[in-house]
Amino acid sequence: MKFIVSSSTLLKQLQVLNGVLNTSNTLPILDNFLFEIEKGTLTISASDLETTITTHLTVESKDSGNVAVPARLLIDTLKTFPEQPLTFSIDKKRLAIEISSDYGKYKITGQNGDEFPKAPSVDNGQSIEMDGTVLSRAVAKTLFAAGNDELRPVMSGVFVQFATDGTTFVATDAHKLVRYRRADVKATGAASFILPRKPLNLLKNILSTGEGVVRVEYNATNARFSWGIAPDGSIGSTLICRLIDGKYPNYDAVIPKNNPNKLTIDTTALLGSIRRVSIFANKTTHQVRLKIAGSELNISAEDLDFSNEAAERLTCSYAGDDMEIGFNSRFLVEMLTNIDSTEATIEMSAPNRAGILLPSQKAGDAEDTLMLVMPVMLNN
């Protein structure tokens, strides 16, 4: 079995697939890439049993067959080459792989490709198409709010809700919540599922460079994302992942509907102020205190154990009763970092009720972002 491929094209594709591989695998075969040759097309797969990424490359070859190639060794070798054609010669019986470059020959021992786990199928499911950058943005706007508590796996992913009037992405860890809606991604029927963190991180990075349309197919157990779709219908790459099993909490019930106190302030100024003041906060609670009176916002923090304290004053636009409320500064920083508009609005009802963060200007008519953060008890 023999094929010729461009070194830089192969490396670029392998680096995308490399994100799936775990540092320690239960099955030794998962430390490899699966190479499959058929009619001049090289199909490369990587898997950790939960997530499988497959990509297709056009190569010079008349052969067909498969082999599993050690991933780390191959990537480390390819990184050292400038752009050039590489010839792979594979002895299927001995599983010996010889790579020939302009500089010399390199020999690797592979494994039997037939032992590589098969990717799960997504049969009898539904499908929807959306722009890759929209999906990447939706993941980037929500994933940071997902939890990492192994005892509550449903909250470790992003909840996706398809409907005829739009699509909603939700992530929460019970302390903060993000709801991101797109009115321009409409499904033919209602459906929902929970996507795990790892495949979402991979998709966010891959699709942020703009991969055109992404087809999402899903059933009760798995979801498949396909991109690089050519006019003839052929697919460049696919990612298949197992969905998180379980019922997502009723997120709508925790979003307070009546918030009469509205604070509008420059996002960058508020973010900078919280970052500075929070350095002086208690290292366990990360608590910062917001005191709003008229058009003045006082931000303060203190660490009684070390007698550290800091306070800053900002000008804001505020409608509502004077109030004092405490938040975890790390949550506020994460949320403000993900607000694109120049001004942010914080809506509040009482010091013991959740605060709502909204961008004052929407990025587009199709986009709607709402962030919720739970308050922390102030020790007066």
Whether residue 188 is predicted with pLDDT greater than 80 in this model: the reply is yes
What average pLDDT does this structure show over 344-353? Answer: 95
Mean pLDDT, rounded, for 293-322? 94
| pLDDT at 210 > cutoff 80 | no
Of the ranges 70-79, 200-209, 284-293, 345-354, which one carries the lowest mean pLDDT score? 200-209
b/e code 51-85 from CB counts within 10 Å (16+ = b): bbbbbbbebebeeeebbbbbbeebbebbeebeeee
pLDDT in tens, 254-289: 999 999 999 999 999 999 999 999 999 999 999 999
Tell whether the model's pLDDT for residue 292 goes beyond 90: yes
User: What's the mean pLDDT when you consider all of the chain?
Assistant: 93
Q: How far, in Å, are 144, 148, 237, 282 from residue 286 at the CA level?
A: 18, 19, 43, 5
Q: Which domains does the chain have, with CATH numbers?
A: 2-115 (3.10.150.10), 126-253 (3.10.150.10), 256-373 (3.10.150.10)
Instruction: Kindly report, residue by residue over 62-120, the tens digit of the pLDDT.
Output: 999 999 999 999 999 999 999 999 999 999 999 999 999 998 999 999 999 999 999 99
Buried b / exposed e across 201-221, counting CB within 10 Å, b at 16+?
ebbbebbeeebeebebbbbee
CA distances from 296 to 291, 317, 332, 373 (A): 8, 8, 19, 21
| Token pair for 95 | 């599983």
In DSSP notation, 299-310 reads: EEEEETTTTEEE
